[in-house]
Structures are given as C-alpha cells and as structure tokens.
C-alpha cells in the first residue's frame, strides 16, 4: 500500500505485568487514583495478580522508587501516581517540577513505559474533581497511557512501521 502508515498502540494489555508507584501524601485522593488505575488495567486485560502497588512517602520519591522497581524487578509498564496540593505546601512548585522531570527522565532512560499520573492542584476541591469526580480520574488516564505505550513499544520492537 502506498502513502503514510501509522503505528499506534492498542488498548489490549493481556499478559502484561504492571507496577503502580503511589505516594502516601494526600492518601485519600491517591487511593482513589490507585483504585481507578487498577480497575482500568483489569478492564484492558491485565490480571490482578500481575499488578503490584508500591507505596512511597510522597511525590518527591516517586521517580526514585519507580526506578528501583523497574530496574530490579520485571514489569512491562509502570504508572506513577501522586497528589500535590498547593494550599498545603509552600514547596509545591519545587516538588512538582522535580517530580515531573524525575519521571520524565526515567521513561527516557529505561525501556519500560512510565506514565505520569501526578495531579497538581490548588485546593481540596480540585483534588476531589481530578481523583474520581467531575474531572475524571487521573489514575485511570495514566493507566490508559501505560497500556497504550506497552502495546506501541511491542509494535515498534516487532518492526511495524
Ligand atoms: N508530597 C506529596 O506527594 N504531596 C504533597 O502535597 C506534599 N507536600 C509537601 C509539603 C512539604 C512542606 C514537604 C516538606 C513535603 C511535602 N510532600 C508532599 C512530601 C515530599 O514529596 C517528600 O515525600 C518529602 O519531602 C520527603 O522526601
């Protein structure tokens, strides 16, 4: 066939092993995002036995904990989840920027797709909205990104172009 071809990941994740790395700060919201991510993985074919949740203290530790998990254990994909609330921390800008750059360099340096499911909000209302109510559940969205990327990596590795 002539013309452009397009390769994109499917949303089927049967047989994949996935690590969820989640902070404990603002635990109520983090838990809702973890639950959303787990259910989304299962909906797309991942067995519950193949999902492991690793807890770290807060967003600042997400990248280092995820790095340890993906380098020392065998997972096909990882999902980083955390909640940063501006009202609760004057360190907000610092922690959010190191969290984002840490997770981003992790996914560049390793072969395993790592998704960014950190919500950075101004107040509790926004945290409620983004962890499972009005604005959806960012844990679900991060899970979907990892599902798609695991499949995309498989296709790239299989030589699809
Ligand atoms: N971690 C989070 O995941 N979310 C937060 O909103 C958050 N706020 C913090 C506010 C302050 C003032 C400090 C010192 C830490 C905060 N942390 C937060 C924890 C941080 O990510 C990390 O776990 C700790 O600083 C220990 O390294």
What are the sequence ranges of the domains in the chain?
A: 18-152
For the domain covering 18-152, report its CATH number.
Answer: 3.40.50.960
Looking at the CA of residue 85, tell me the nearest atom of ligand 1.
Answer: 6
**Which residues form the pocket of ligand 1, taking CB atoms under 6 Å from any ligand atom?**
23, 25-26, 57-61, 82-85, 88-89, 91, 95
For residue 157, give Cα distances in angstroms to 44, 108, 153.
21, 16, 6
The strand pairing partners of 20, in sequence order, are 53, 79
Decide if 91 is catalytic: yes
* pTM attached to this predicted model: 0.94
Please give the Cα distance from 8 to 152 (Å, whole number). 6
- Check residue 88 and give its pLDDT: 64
Computed over its alpha carbons, how large is the radius of gyration of the chain? 16
Q: Which of 12, 57, 91, 94 is catalytic?
A: 91
**CB–CB of 7/68 below 8 Å?**
no
Give, using CA atoms, the residue closest to atom 14 of ligand 1: 91
Per residue in 118-139, pLDDT (tens digit) is 999 988 888 888 888 877 899 9
Give, using CA atoms, the residue closest to atom 23 of ligand 1: 58
pLDDT of 21 higher than 70: yes
Mean pLDDT of 81-103: 89
Between 34 and 92, residue with greater pLDDT = 34
Which H or E run contains 151?
A: helix 138-157
């Amino acid at each position: 066939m002539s013309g452009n071809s397009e390769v994109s990941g499917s949303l089927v994740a049967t047989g994949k092993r996935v690590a969820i790395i989640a902070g404990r700060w603002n635990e109520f919201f983090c838990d809702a995002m973890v639950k959303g991510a787990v259910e989304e993985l299962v909906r797309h074919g991942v067995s519950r036995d193949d999902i492991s949740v690793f807890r770290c203290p807060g967003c600042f530790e997400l990248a280092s904990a995820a790095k340890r998990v993906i380098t020392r254990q065998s997972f096909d994909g990882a999902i980083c989840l955390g909640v940063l609330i501006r009202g609760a921390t004057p360190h907000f800008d610092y922690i959010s920027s190191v969290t984002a750059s840490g997770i981003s360099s992790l996914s560049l340096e390793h072969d395993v797709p790592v998704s960014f499911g950190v919500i950075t909000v101004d107040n509790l209302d926004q945290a409620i909205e983004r962890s499972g109510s009005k604005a959806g559940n960012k844990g679900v969205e991060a899970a979907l990104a990892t599902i798609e990327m695991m499949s995309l990596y498989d296709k790239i590795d299989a030589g699809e172009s």
